[in-house]
Amino acid sequence: MNIIMLGAQGTGKGTVAGIISEKTGIPQISTGDIFRKNISEKTPLGIEADKYISKGNLVPDEITIPMVEDRLTWEDAQAGVILDGFPRNIAQAEKLDEILKAKGKKIDLVINLVTPKEEIIDRMLTRRVCTNQECKTTYNIKLHPPKKEGICDKCGAPLKQREDDSDPEAIKRRLEIYEEKTSPLVEYYKNKGVLRTETVSITVNRMGQDVANDVIKDIKGAQ
């Protein structure tokens, strides 16, 4: 099964994708994680990507698409994937359709997460991520804090705040870009009949774990 996670930054796409991946065995492919790894290692791709990410802008298609296309050729991705952070615009979505069609595959489900803007900004400012690249577990010091401050519950590695999560103005800029570039994907996948929109917010007492659990039940029920 091929799944796409949609939703603005801070809605919990990574959390939901991670839970679904863990319970179903479908690999989670996060473009953000790949970018951050390359940035920290100062690879040519990372240096180019950082020029955009550090300003709260999207990485251009000519950098992103080939990277994702290559990742989809890996052995663990042949039975399906959960794409987190891709596609981000209609051009990427159309290219992804072409890539999958050539393999005799398609997108089966698109999970669109919706959260109030003020809540998103607060979540991102209070988000912390495990520094262990093999773990990458995400926490929120308000909503989902680690048992020991600054330490990952799963692997014991230090937690850190992403550089692009520390500036409220950069966060607002990323949200504006999402609305401009990425939100049209909602209509694109709605027209294909694969869209599932879920509100994730403390105001409705429904968080990422709840969404993930419901999706997992549906996936297993369809098998």
Rounded to an integer, what distance in angstroms lies between the CA atom of residue 223 and that of residue 219? Answer: 7
Question: Does 174 qualify as catalytic in the annotation?
Answer: yes
* Side-chain half-sphere CA neighbours of 210 within 13 A: 10
Reported for 157-160, long-range contacts at CB under 8 A and 24+ positions apart, including other chains, are 157/130, 157/131, 157/132, 158/130, 158/131, 159/128, 159/129, 159/130, 159/131, 160/128, 160/129, 160/131
Question: Does 142 qualify as catalytic in the annotation?
Answer: no
* Active-site residue identified among 95, 123, 127, 136: 127
* Active-site residue identified among 162, 181, 190, 206: 162
Question: Does 128 qualify as catalytic in the annotation?
Answer: no
* Active-site residue identified among 36, 95, 136, 174: 174
* Active-site residue identified among 13, 36, 128, 136: 13
Tell me the residue type at 96. Answer: L
Question: Does 13 qualify as catalytic in the annotation?
Answer: yes
Q: Which residues are catalytic?
A: 13, 88, 127, 162, 174
